[in-house]
Amino acid sequence: MKLPVNPYLPSWEYIPDGEPYVFGDRVYVYGSHDLFNGYVFCMGDYVCWSAPVDDLGNWRYEGVIYPKTSDPFNPDGHMCLYAPDVTVGPDGRYYLYYVLDKVSNVSVAVCDTPAGKYEFLGYVHYPDGTLLGNAPGDEPQFDPGVLTEGDRTYLYTGFCGFGDKSRHGAMCTVLDKDMMTVIEKPVFVAPGAMYSEGSGFEGHAFFEAPSIRKIGDAYYFIYSSQVMHELCYATSKNPREGFKYRGVLVSNGDVGIGTYKPADLAVAYTANNHGSVVKILNDWYIFYHRHTNGTWYSRQGCAEKLMLLEDGSFPQVEITSQGLGAKPLPAKGEIPTYIACNLFVRNQPRRFGEGAPKIVQDGRDGDEEIGYIANVQNGTVVGFKYFDCKGVSELKVTTRGYIHGEIVLKTAIDGEELGSAPVIGSNIWKTTSGKVSLPDGVHAIYLEFRGGGGGHLKSFELV
């Protein structure tokens, strides 16, 4: 079995906006498709990956399930496929819902299997044929999330940019058993920031990325909030009304987690977020995404294990390198740096900027090149969680570039220095080593560069 890590897919794959589902004995993830070095969001066709429910490190590429040119609105491919969702209809077939980036209507495709070739079916429409999003009073459709119960499908959509009073919040529309015809018009289920006062959603109002799950007799509405980097949730016993804000599930910068740092401090470069929850065997997980390549347009899927409490709440979970793995990673062998969950420069803003450290790869999109960290500079902190360490007395690091100094090992961001390895400038990957004193046990590993110049950090090894 292959150990799970974050990102859970290969380091050269860029699938954000993940909607995870268990069908049979496999978990499937549906998302949009970014490209390495992409210049806008979601440039690729829809692809699918799946894994056995009992082997969450063993992901299989299912191939392209829906090309962007399949939609009659997009025969030349000039529009992108934004975040999709999938549901099983009353006929047992699999229905894919999505919105193209330059229209405000919801498209539907269908397939007989979870990850086969989906065929365009039609557009969500009112009984008179008017497309949802085009009728008087309709707000633009965006980021569909779907849940089917019996002959009814609940469709959740919406986008609410801060300052835009024309967008009121997340909407729920009910569809008939044909999966496309509106039988109950949109109603608002969660407010946007401009309409959140007095709602209980203040500070965490709906922004985008609606997703819906049912747990027991409660409906869980998952969404990206007005601060973008966090996925929040609200619950109700009715899918069309009464949702109450419950809290944050995950932040892709760990904002809100105060156990190992100040709660308001971001330890990664934050930007938008999108994902949902799923139960795999006996455990719950949250799927979300992170940003690589120093832009918003090369996002990768990550996941963390959640804890469902007796009151139906999910406490916010910490972002890690082990992700779907139930146990800490073994501290042995060469460890690639692309699995870092914390990345920032000490005493600098935690946001993208020219020359900021970033996770990248060599080659072009589609080249199966292992990711690494570029733009390592003085004060760069790279964090990994968690490792089971035994008998470690040496640190090896592999670097390249015009860089010189040392990489210091710690087990906390501001923790004691436990040793270091020298860094020597090189035009090719060069491995150096130094003595460290790392106690046995489960630890976070923080590597901090001190020195001059700038370069790349490929991997490290604890010996």
Q: Does residue 206 sit in helix, strand or coil? A: strand
Q: Does residue 459 sit in helix, strand or coil? A: strand
Catalytic choice (34, 208, 230, 461): 208
Catalytic choice (17, 19, 85, 143): 17
> CA-to-CA distance for 226 and 302, rounded, in angstroms?
21
Q: Does residue 252 sit in helix, strand or coil? A: coil
Q: Does residue 194 sit in helix, strand or coil? A: helix
Contact by Cβ (8 Å): 336, 66: no
Instruction: Give the angle subtended at the CA of 278 by the CAs of 43 and 250, to the nearest 5°.
Output: 70
Residue 7, preceding bond cis, omega within 30 degrees? yes
Structure tokens at 294: 């120093």
> CA-to-CA distance for 177 and 200, rounded, in angstroms?
34
Catalytic site includes residue 440: no
Q: Where are the beta strands (DSSP E) in 10-45?
A: 19-23, 26-30
Q: Where are the beta strands (DSSP E) in 226-337?
A: 230-236, 244-251, 276-280, 283-291, 299-306, 329-330, 335-336
Contact by Cβ (8 Å): 31, 16: yes
Catalytic site includes residue 208: yes
> CA-to-CA distance for 203 and 222, rounded, in angstroms?
15
Half-sphere exposure (Cβ direction) of 249: Cα atoms closer than 13 Å: 33
Contact by Cβ (8 Å): 124, 183: no
* Active-site annotation, residues: 17, 208
